[in-house]
Structure 1
Amino acid sequence: MVVFATPGMLHAGLSLQIFKKWAPNKNNMVIMPGYCVAGTVGHKILSGAKKVEFENNQIVEVKMSVQYMSFSAHADAKGIMQLIQHCEPRNVLLVHGEASKMEFLKNKIMQEFGIECYMPANGETVCMPARVVIPVDVSLKLLKRELSQSGSDPKKPRILHGALMMFDNTLRLVDPEAAMDEVGVKPHDIRFTSTIHLEDPSGEPPTRVADAIYQKMKSKLKDHTIHLMVDSSISVASVLIKVDNSDDDGKNVFVSWGYQDEELGSYLLSLVKEMEEYFT
């Protein structure tokens, strides 16, 4: 939330009321827009005061950030352009001036800075899109695991799977196993399974079919480790592929995968379906 409130020296009025409420919180900030006369609250906090005493022995601790920005209330077009260049806002709202000159300045701002500029009439409501940034701490264990699985390119976009936890208004993305241990929840493994029937008039054994599928996947998946196990089943990450005889001179290929590898499982399923051409 951003509040513009007067007077600028915090000596009375709405700005002082808000200051008293917000000053004790270190997450807040006050920006002083100009010179403050000695003796005012604004002058005290700009001088570094950490406590301000008011009437009735009221003492307010100043934990909020205090910043100073020279801002003239009577800046000309050049001064406004310099202010926009310095502050780099996402939107500009023009609220005072002659209509024709404001229109000229609005077009100049949009042309030079490429940002949205509004010029509302008195009483008109303006809605500006806002981008909300929510900071999340990521556990080192989760990052190391992801880097070890995704190769050496740190700039390559990737999906990070984890559990989002909140404690004391702080969000953390942690390894799911660590999250379950922390809250005392037992894990459940959810898998998806699909069966594909391949016509096989040749009657080749399941091991030969599994080997053909294995060779095809090796040629298609260069960035994954593929295992052909002793029972002729194939594993890629959480995906497991098993070939078995059916009752009508064909083969049933079972493809199952964990929820975290849904995209990979769907892709391998399509590769197995393409094997129909191998037997026809």
Structure 2
Amino acid sequence: MINAPGPCVLFATPGMLSGGFSLEVFKQWAPCEQNLIALPGYCLAETVGHKLMRAKPPARIDVDKSTQIDVRCQIHQLSFSPHTDSKGIMDLIRFLSPKNVILVHGEKPKMASLKERIESDLRIPCYYPANNESQCIESTQYIKAEASKSFLQSSLSPNFKFLKTISRADTGFILNERAESCVQVCDDRVAEGAVIMQKDQHPKIVHQNELMDILEAENHKVQVAYCCPVCVPNEPKNVALSPGEDKHPVLDKCSLLHLLYTKLSNDFQDVTIQNDGDCLQIESLTVSPCPKGKCPHRRHVNPVSTSEAVNFCCTWSMEDEKLAWRVISIMKNLELKTH
């Protein structure tokens, strides 16, 4: 049908030529000057449709990394969108009268404007969270649910914080120099779980570690790795190394790990840092000296001088992403002086 003789009009999706049937037709029709392609009013950046809107035929368009198309056909842009306009959205919200509205698709300035209209005209709370951003909404409906033992135990576990300085105003003195760590128990506990609703059973709250067993599903974890350079200006260089080994002395790395532990403990007093001699453990983050001369996780934009750097391999789970990069940013600006 695509290559049949004679004129024809074809409606094909997606309109942005981001893939699918419309893109396949475009590849065959674009080189012919007698053809015309009509695009919708808006095309997402980096799509073929967006590139065509900016090009002036004849032109060469990159369809993907390995494919280029010579475009000689006419390009026409229609002020048309298959989505409803703001009036249609307002009429729908007015008819449904929801407790909250979340806008999930559109350009940010237009979503902000629509949010203001919904809140001012309809008096309904409206949100437009960004991608990967969570939105919490208070519920007016409450249900009674049972709780598993594991969930209850996790909610009863207090949080511990280790303080480096002890202040005692009642006794009239302050311990500032190398005060022994004390444990401060906080009651701001947060329990993470999931509500299970099965047929003919009461809702039940279970711990997140129980959920996979109940669903009989396999748990997949994403691990992130980064090899971070740390400046060590006074590191000794008189230890012989075996072939293929990193240029920094292995025996010194235990002391370097201890120095790193001391530095990080001063900056992260709100978390527990464990040092077992081979690595540091901070939540799921593991920091250990890298023995490899060429590590695949080493991608330094502005590397520390190779003669003054020890590389530490850092691995962590996605839930500790922010903590991991906080630690790495501090490590990059450290100087571990061995003497």
* TM-score, length of structure 1 as denominator length: 0.44
- RCO higher in 1 or 2 (8 Å CA, sep ≥ 6)? 2
Q: Of the two, which has the highest radius of gyration?
A: 1
Higher helix share: 1
TM (norm. structure 2) is 0.37
